[in-house]
Amino acid sequence: MCDQCGGRCCQSEEERTHTPENTFAAISDEAAPEQIQRTLADVRHGNAEQRQTAVLQLQRQQGNQAVRRLLENAESAVPSGQVQRWAVNIPADTPCDQVPDLITETSPYSPNWARAHFEFPWSSDYVPRGTAPNYTLTPRNLNVRMQPDIDVPQWSPSDPATRTAWRTAMSNLNAHETVHRQTATTWRDTIRTEMRAYRPSVTAEDEQGAVDQGNTVFQGKHDEQTALHQDAQDQIDANGAGCVAIINCPAPPEEESTSAEGEESAE
């Protein structure tokens, strides 16, 4: 997610795949099925913290492909949301090994390849309690939505082998963005819960004056929670994971050489 990871996305492949020690217990393809099911159960039915931890665990220990594989059929799989695609402005016949540097140079989010940004618009009415000048505001009909804005690269290479490598790379990149979107969805619920439980004290001459302060004081709570959401998104991009895909280019075809024997036989 480009808003979060910044220049860290340009680290080496070795750095991308490094797993911090003592972060989570590993979950591998060889793990007992019930272990995988427990993790997916946390994603589907856990509280906000459990869902976020489970998704991060899958992403960090198994990688983006595992997240896609294990979550694509999960009951809690989130819709794709608003996904845009920026056109990669390089020729279709560009050699595969040149593609990463050229995309980095031409990307509107350079040095990143993709951008994912989330907004949490909200609305509420307020009930004042107390007597002038001291009031406590209780939210009424408070709601928080999540608006995703995701932009990933789009390119159509002409070489079939390069096209396959590109599609695989983009599939992994999209899986990473799914982790960000899942995290944002979880935090939408968390922000809503925290704001509904908020009871700020305000000073006003009358009840209407107290109500008039509602949007301002609750916006402060909203900003506090969205900052925590940003911290959670930053964790996903730790160690350079995410915004730049790794393209496993096919081996270049061997050049045909004419042997001396071949030349002699042609004569």
Residue 51 is assigned to a structural domain of this protein: no
pTM for this prediction? 0.66
Q: Domain span at residue 217?
A: 2-7+79-249
How long is the chain?
267
In a domain, 263, yes or no: no
Residue 156 lies in a domain: yes
Query: Does residue 195 belong to any structural domain of this protein?
Result: yes
- State the residue for tokens 């808003």: 3
* Residue at 19 is within a domain: no
- Tell me what the mean pLDDT of segment 145-152 comes to: 94
206 located within any domain: yes
CA–centroid distance for 175 within its chain: 8
Pairing state of beta strands 83-87 and 147-154?
Answer: parallel
pLDDT tens per residue, range 107-134: 998 888 998 899 999 999 999 999 999 9
| 57 part of a folded domain | no
Each residue's pLDDT tens digit, 58-114: 666 666 656 655 555 443 333 445 678 999 999 999 999 999 999 999 999 888 899
Which of 78, 106, 99 has its CA nearest to residue 167? 99
Q: How many domains does the chain have?
A: 1
With residue 149 as reference, give the H or E element that holds it: strand 147-154
* Residue 177 counted as domain residue: yes
184-224 tens-digit pLDDT: 999 999 999 999 999 999 999 999 999 999 999 999 999 99
